Chains A and B, each alone.
Chain A
Amino acid sequence: MSELKTISFVLDGEITEIDFNKSGYSPTTTLLQYLRSLPDHKGVKEGCGEGDCGACTVVMGELRQDKIEYRAYDSCLIFLPSVHGKQVITAENLGNSGNMHPVQQAMYDFDGSQCGFCTPGFVMSIFALYKQEYEVDKEEINDALTGNLCRCTGYKPILDAAEFACKNKEDDHFCECEAGIVKMLKSVRRDKTISIITDRQKYYIPFSKAEALRLRKDFPQAVLLTGSTDVALRVTKKHELIPEIIDLSQVNEYNYTKTENNIISFGSNFSMEDVRRQSKETLLALYEMLGVFGSRQIRNRASLGGNIGSASPIGDSLPVLMAYDAEVELENHKEKRTVKLRDFITGYRTTICAADELISGVNISLPGKDRIVKSYKISKRKDLDISTVSACFSLKLNDGKVEDIAIFYGGMAAWTKRASKTEAALKGKEWSRVNVEVAMKQLEEDYKPIADARSGEKARNIMAANLLLKFWSESRRSA
């Protein structure tokens, strides 16, 4: 039985196969680097190499049943092997200067470009919107473009162009070619694990849970990735050589959501954007937090499992999931176990996840109607910024008194930490401004924040205290 060693994807309407032992590309070559190495995809620009500017935005088409779903991604944060089985689309594939795609035409007509360097990235983000079946309103446009920076225009003409293009959608040449692309994508579907072994690196792409768990057992030192929005930075920013990687992004068994007995479950591969859309009706605090989580491109790629597993002190989903008292499902090749997220993280980027375990999913019990759950994030910029301070509060009142309250802050300690002393100061007390203001002082007992590039410690303390007051103020409105 020969191992699969090559990856295949669709580019320029054709299947491209890459053998990493012959091509000169390393398995941690980013999609951006790959595309820029080609003569005809120089429109994909590098502005930052860390997913913060969107100049490298591409759209990838993925099979969903017999249709193609189009989403925008930062190509600088994707390792080339992750592209296996997908269609890669760049601005050059939309149209050319003599025959522009409607999105390009709108950007041109509305003066959406000045220096032009960010433009192909904006075009691709708008194109991804253009290809959605749902109605695209202004809010949707704004959200979809938070991952693209422009330093010249002040954005207004770009917004106008996006609105015009999305309001005047028509069938484009991607519609015409879709059936053919579907056939190609089906032909490169794999079940057997792809093992890319080069002189210096090993990169595994399993397609089933069983294979993923086997690889995890056999290569416990391997770096795990799904969206790679965090791991890729080790290559693009720190110029690290990662020797072993298990890429879980193609394990479909981890890509699910279901609701049973008032419990919503998300598979660990479920993208943050999918989590956001799913939580809109049921888990509002999560929905709101994810609305200011990264950018559309990042959320399309980042996974819930990755965000939890990396246990970052400023992982924005964590305070919310902890306030909801979410459970994490872990499994190895033999068995499953379920732990409280509150117990899962043990310190700065450390968890109780064993060397042979993977996070398979997250379960969240829907809060009762008598619970008020709210999340907040303070960051220098509203969008695509890491929290200076984030918080989530879950409150149960009984006759105006605090029966139960759970308070979790991000950005205030080396990991997402519970404000136990503050909670204690509030429990059993009347939910009044006076009592809240007393509790606000307790926060300084719970946390000793640091000063960093985002904020000084004094301001962090003010922010933390203010968020509790804000929650009090807003809880009265929603109660």
Chain B
Amino acid sequence: MESINHESGKLHVSGEAIYIDDIQVSDRLLHGYLYTSPYAHAKIKSFDLEAAKAVKGVHAILSYKDIPGHNQMGPVFHDEPVMVEGLVQCIGQTIFVIAAENQEAADEAKKLIKIDFEILEPIITLEDAIAKNSLLQPERKIETGDIEDGFKKSSHIIEGEFATGGQEHWYLETQICLCIPGEGKEMKVYSSTQHPSETQSIVAEVLGTGKHEIEVECRRMGGAFGGKETSGNHVAAWTSLLAVKTGRPVKMRLFRDEDQKITGKRHPYHFKYKAGFDANGKIIAADIQHFANGGYATDLSMAILERGMLHAENAYYISNMRIVAKAMKTNLPSNVAFRGFGAPQGIVCIEHIIDRIAGILHKDPVEIKTMNFYGIESNNVAPYGAKIENNRLHVIFNRLMQSSDYISRRVAIDDFNKENEFFKKGIALTPVKFGISFTTAFLNQAGALINIYSDGTILVNHGGTEMGQGLYTKIRKIAAAEFGVSLKKIKVNATNTSKVPNTSATAASSGTDLNGMAVKDGIDKLKKRLAYFAAEQIISDYQKPAKPENIIFENDLVFDSEFPDLKYNFDELISKAYVSQVSLSATGFYKTPDIHFDRAAGKGKPFHYYAFGMAVTEVLLDVLTGRVKILRTDILHDVGESIIPNIDKGQVEGAFVQGLGWVTGEDMKYDKNGNLLNHSPDTYKIPSIQDIPQDFRVELLQGYPNPGTIRRSKAVGEPPFVLALSAWFAIKYAVSAVVNHSKEPKLALPATNENILLAIAEMK
């Protein structure tokens, strides 16, 4: 398919693209600020806002007492108050919100706020939470086969523990919302949110009004990555309260440090595992426990936990397997969705187990991986009972092993390592099998509203949001292709709850799958109407027996396939249709068929299909400084039939580099009181331009269209994130080369230079 650039690209490069902070508002605009808790766990015995409220330039200071509706902003479980009511549960939890003319006035007011805290003992670390069995919700389990029997049949058994760190989203645009009160109870909410419908719900609930009074709009976000799936709702709730109270437009934009301190992050995980295998390395049984650090509230932790469990076996068939998962409650900000949504964590544990098996058996991990891959005809049922169909693991593996020249490079690396004391190299291959669909089945629905205007231009509304991933660009392409018109006729409108209601979050990589299908449905309806009309026109204009079912929409033309010479220009036909009183607007709807998951039983078919990919990464480690260079990465990734290849490639590259951050430099350190130490880009380091693979080769798998999806494509946002684990395992190989692979390095994830040097020191 042809390459099309990002629909907002020209606006981006010229600075013309409008983000929420760029919207011109009247001079009555006030700014919203937060007063947050300095303690991780405390009771508020009393507070006094009087002196603070008197500060010039301060228009409102609100506490939970000023909330007209519910003091609640949790998306599923109602355990996350809008503002603290008595009990503080994390540092950065919002206690008051302030509307002021400027930051200086708000800062002065904050100094005058008096609170009497009774400080309580916090739980900060995951280890502490596990020891105290501090749970957010009951544990979950998925089990298949006979785990005990499996261990009995295993010639080798390994046990161990492993952990992964958190990750800050670091979207370039911090959380932001602008609320403009209208007449009566109306409120227009401009929110940087991945989930406008939920933002609408929460604002309505907090304000104690109907959703029909609240209009939420999001044209684009300056990055999100899951960090605006629920966190944006919070900022919208706070802003809307201030706008209602003051009766003026209010904008709240978090400062970078504030954003990093108070918003949730990727869930850190702790794993306990036991795995049994035979002398070849075939895994016979695996018993894995996931402990996710959910922070103080549930948010989406149970869904994240579930996706982690559903990816605990990654690309491997394991006939006897038990996965028990717990979301632990700690006194940290509630952790949230982040690209991959628990799957990268679930996957890293089984990959770690395989890497250990290879070490024990003195084999290349690649051998262990292929031996355990899901089969095509047999060995193809996941622990949760679903059959793995359209398995692309083998084709990708064979092609990538060849194109990356893995085998000879590994030999060369071993030679290099023998000759160099202070520099070591490593190489690793990581596969991913990623389930596509929301695991909460009902969320797999989407709507669209297609308007054709009388001049033949088309405005497409859908429920998905644009965070940079190119959804609008793909939707535009889909709409043009389905209508058979040129791209310039199609405009994709800002996502707005008054155009398309009751939508799901743009998440789970499903934006195009769901919204693309809904758009297609709307277009199909319009085409059906127009086909009837066109056939009638041909009959009356040319007296030919045209039939609606033969009408073709192609190249901005409309014609009957039986009479291809009799063509109407699309615009001309629309103009005639309008005059002939044909409705030129239609809604579209889509729900993903045949998916279901029984949580209690841990069985079902939770995914519509799977996306597959693999990466081979080679690294160079400076043994003395812990500095790692990514020398080369080869990726072969499956996106079905790509709707726009350059956009998909951009997603693969971007996800991989973001994953590199998670596995290498992005480190979160907390003090014992629960203060995040790396709360600014000064100390929290996402990958920069020189951290990417020096030789970066990304290919999309060709020739494997995906049945049953929009234009035979596949979702792409999250799966390639997992591929960055290849860099971590390559680093681990380089570290173990320091002792000539005689010991298993205890390398932490992320492999920062600090953690690498500690792992090396520990082996010596």
A contacts, CB < 8 Å to B? 36, 39, 41-50, 52-53, 55, 90-92, 94-98, 100, 104-105, 107-109, 111-120, 123, 142, 145-146, 148-159, 237, 239, 376, 378, 380-386, 388, 452-456, 458-459, 462-463, 466-467, 469-470, 473
Q: Determine the chain B residues whose CB is within 8 A of the CB of A52 once the complex forms.
A: 680-682
- Contact indicator B682/A463 (Cβ below 8 Å): no
Q: Kindly specify which of B4-12, B57-65, B735-743 makes contact with the partner chain.
A: B4-12
- Contact indicator B681/A115 (Cβ below 8 Å): no
- Contact indicator A45/B222 (Cβ below 8 Å): yes
Q: Determine the chain A residues whose CB is within 8 A of the CB of B163 once the complex forms.
A: none
B646 at the interface (CB under 8 A from A): yes
Q: Kindly specify which of B39-47, B119-127, B342-350, B687-695 makes contact with the partner chain.
A: B687-695
- CA of A98 to CA of B24 in the docked complex: distance in angstroms? 22
> Of the candidates A107, A111, A156, A469, which one forms a contact with B624 in the assembled complex, judged by CB atoms under 8 Å apart?
A469
- Given A42-B18, A52-B681, A100-B10: A114 in contact with B469 (beta carbons within 8 A): yes
- Contact indicator B220/A382 (Cβ below 8 Å): no
- Contact indicator A115/B171 (Cβ below 8 Å): yes
- Contact indicator A380/B647 (Cβ below 8 Å): no
- Contact indicator A383/B692 (Cβ below 8 Å): no
- CA of A113 to CA of B469 in the docked complex: distance in angstroms? 10
Q: Determine the chain B residues whose CB is within 8 A of the CB of A111 once the complex forms.
A: 5-6, 9, 646-647, 650
B104 at the interface (CB under 8 A from A): yes
- Contact indicator B689/A378 (Cβ below 8 Å): no
- Measured between C-beta atoms, what is the minimum distance from A291 to chain B in Å? 11
- CA of A376 to CA of B422 in the docked complex: distance in angstroms? 15
- Contact indicator B24/A156 (Cβ below 8 Å): no
Q: Determine the chain A residues whose CB is within 8 A of the CB of B257 once the complex forms.
A: 237
8 pairs of A and B residues whose beta carbons are closest in the complex: A43-B15, A115-B468, A117-B222, A116-B12, A154-B657, A114-B468, A52-B681, A154-B653
- CA of A116 to CA of B173 in the docked complex: distance in angstroms? 10
Interface of A, helix, strand, loop or mixed by DSSP: loop
- Measured between C-beta atoms, what is the minimum distance from B221 to chain A in Å? 6
Chain B, 125-179, CB within 8 A of any chain A CB = 169-174
Q: Determine the chain B residues whose CB is within 8 A of the CB of A237 once the complex forms.
A: 257, 680
| Binary contact track B673-704/A, C-beta < 8 Å → 1, others 0 | 00001101111011111111000100000000
- Contact indicator B14/A381 (Cβ below 8 Å): no
B749 at the interface (CB under 8 A from A): no
- Contact indicator A153/B691 (Cβ below 8 Å): no
Q: Determine the chain B residues whose CB is within 8 A of the CB of A97 once the complex forms.
A: 10-11, 13-14, 16
Interface of B, helix, strand, loop or mixed by DSSP: loop
- Contact indicator B5/A120 (Cβ below 8 Å): no
Q: Determine the chain A residues whose CB is within 8 A of the CB of B667 once the complex forms.
A: 380
Q: Determine the chain B residues whose CB is within 8 A of the CB of A388 once the complex forms.
A: 753-754
- Measured between C-beta atoms, what is the minimum distance from B483 to chain A in Å? 25
B627 at the interface (CB under 8 A from A): yes
B contacts, CB < 8 Å to A? 5-6, 8-19, 21-22, 24, 103-104, 107, 169-174, 220-225, 255-257, 422, 467-470, 624-627, 646-647, 650, 653-658, 665, 667, 669, 677-678, 680-683, 685-692, 696, 752-754, 757-758, 761
> Of the candidates B174, B626, B650, which one forms a contact with A114 in the assembled complex, judged by CB atoms under 8 Å apart?
B650
- Given A90-B15, A151-B658, A455-B754: A50 in contact with B692 (beta carbons within 8 A): no
Closest chain A residue to B649 by CB distance?
A111
- CA of A47 to CA of B256 in the docked complex: distance in angstroms? 7
- Contact indicator B12/A113 (Cβ below 8 Å): yes
- CA of A157 to CA of B656 in the docked complex: distance in angstroms? 14
- Contact indicator A383/B690 (Cβ below 8 Å): yes
- CA of A426 to CA of B17 in the docked complex: distance in angstroms? 61
- Measured between C-beta atoms, what is the minimum distance from A119 to chain B in Å? 4
Q: Determine the chain B residues whose CB is within 8 A of the CB of A378 once the complex forms.
A: 625-627, 753
> Of the candidates B103, B468, B683, B761, which one forms a contact with A152 in the assembled complex, judged by CB atoms under 8 Å apart?
B468
- Given A376-B625, A388-B754: A149 in contact with B15 (beta carbons within 8 A): no
- CA of A239 to CA of B107 in the docked complex: distance in angstroms? 8
- CA of A467 to CA of B692 in the docked complex: distance in angstroms? 25
- CA of A155 to CA of B256 in the docked complex: distance in angstroms? 22
11 contacts between A and B (CB under 8 A): A47-B173, A95-B14, A96-B16, A114-B470, A146-B688, A152-B223, A153-B653, A154-B696, A380-B752, A456-B754, A470-B624
- Contact indicator A466/B625 (Cβ below 8 Å): yes
- Given A378-B753, A380-B752, A466-B625: A146 in contact with B13 (beta carbons within 8 A): no
- Measured between C-beta atoms, what is the minimum distance from A14 to chain B in Å? 19
- Contact indicator A104/B13 (Cβ below 8 Å): yes
Closest chain B residue to A377 by CB distance?
B625
Closest chain B residue to A52 by CB distance?
B681
- CA of A150 to CA of B689 in the docked complex: distance in angstroms? 8
- Contact indicator A107/B256 (Cβ below 8 Å): no
- Measured between C-beta atoms, what is the minimum distance from A144 to chain B in Å? 9
- CA of A111 to CA of B468 in the docked complex: distance in angstroms? 11
- Measured between C-beta atoms, what is the minimum distance from A267 to chain B in Å? 28
Q: Determine the chain A residues whose CB is within 8 A of the CB of B172 once the complex forms.
A: 45, 47, 53, 55, 115, 117-118, 149-151
- Given A378-B626, A466-B624: A155 in contact with B689 (beta carbons within 8 A): yes
- Measured between C-beta atoms, what is the minimum distance from B436 to chain A in Å? 21
- Measured between C-beta atoms, what is the minimum distance from A103 to chain B in Å? 8
> Of the candidates A151, A158, A380, which one forms a contact with B689 in the assembled complex, judged by CB atoms under 8 Å apart?
A158
Q: Determine the chain B residues whose CB is within 8 A of the CB of A116 once the complex forms.
A: 6, 8-9, 11-12, 17, 220, 222, 468
- CA of A189 to CA of B387 in the docked complex: distance in angstroms? 76
- Contact indicator A113/B683 (Cβ below 8 Å): no
Q: Determine the chain A residues whose CB is within 8 A of the CB of B688 once the complex forms.
A: 146, 149, 155, 381-384
- Contact indicator B689/A120 (Cβ below 8 Å): no
- Given A39-B24, A109-B5: A239 in contact with B104 (beta carbons within 8 A): yes
